[in-house]
Amino acid sequence: MTEARSEILAGVRAALAGVDPAPAAPTVPGVSLTPADAVAKFAERVADYRAVVERCGAAELADRVAAALPEGSVIVPEGLSVQVPDAVVDDGTLTATDLDRIAAVVTEARVGIAETGTIVLDHGPGQGRRIISLVPDTHVCIVHEHQVVADVPDAVADLDPARPLTWISGPSATSDIELDRVEGVHGPRNLHVIVVAG
């Protein structure tokens, strides 16, 4: 394999002999929004993907989460900022098969992107392992207003690539049949986003 490595790198070197470097890429700023406009646009654009979106104050959050949950068992990560009665707290031991029997998951997020209606999880405290927000069929995701940024470049600058990241824009979907979008394939078919004031 070291032979393959040296041969490929030599091939690259030979291919580019005498070729000038390309000029650096210009930065293109994203859209600029006031915090209030960003939150409004975020809610609107998440809803465009046919996710359920609601906004509430901090005091109402626990009730809203409870109301968003379907029948059946619920899993939550460690460090979730809201109490979910009867929820299983993930201790890192549940397998995919175990999680397949759980109906819903509640997590927080790391960033919300207004322009694209995207939620980004970096799987830190309150978000948990990637698997827990993937296998259950309903994902209730809490986004705090202060976490919402205007556009993709703001999010990229804010995120740490050393962490695993999951960018979520609406429920699982496919356009594979006649290029018509259909919601709900392998990922959570129900995405419920609660945007909390503050």
Q: Does 153 bind other proteins (CB under 8 A)?
A: yes
- Interaction of residue 168 with other proteins, rule CB under 8 A: yes
Sequence-ordered strand ranges (E) for 104-159? 104-108, 111-113, 118-121, 138-144, 148-149
Task: Write the interaction track for other proteins spanning residues 117-136; mark x where CB under 8 A is met and - where it is not.
Answer: xx----x-----xxx--xx-
CA pair distance 51, 172, nearest whole angstrom: 10
Fill in the DSSP letter of residue 23. P
Q: Does 1 help bind other proteins (rule: CB under 8 A)? A: yes
Q: Are strands 118-121 and 111-113 parallel, antiparallel or unpaired?
A: antiparallel
For residue 78, state whether it binds other proteins (rule: CB under 8 A). Answer: no
Query: What tokens does 55 get?
Result: 């906004």
Residue 174 is classified by DSSP as E
- Least Å distance, CB 5 to other proteins, is 4
Q: Is 188 in the site for other proteins (CB under 8 A)?
A: yes
Of positions 40, 56, 62, 165, contacts other proteins by CB under 8 A:
165
Contact call for residue 16 and other proteins (CB under 8 A)? yes
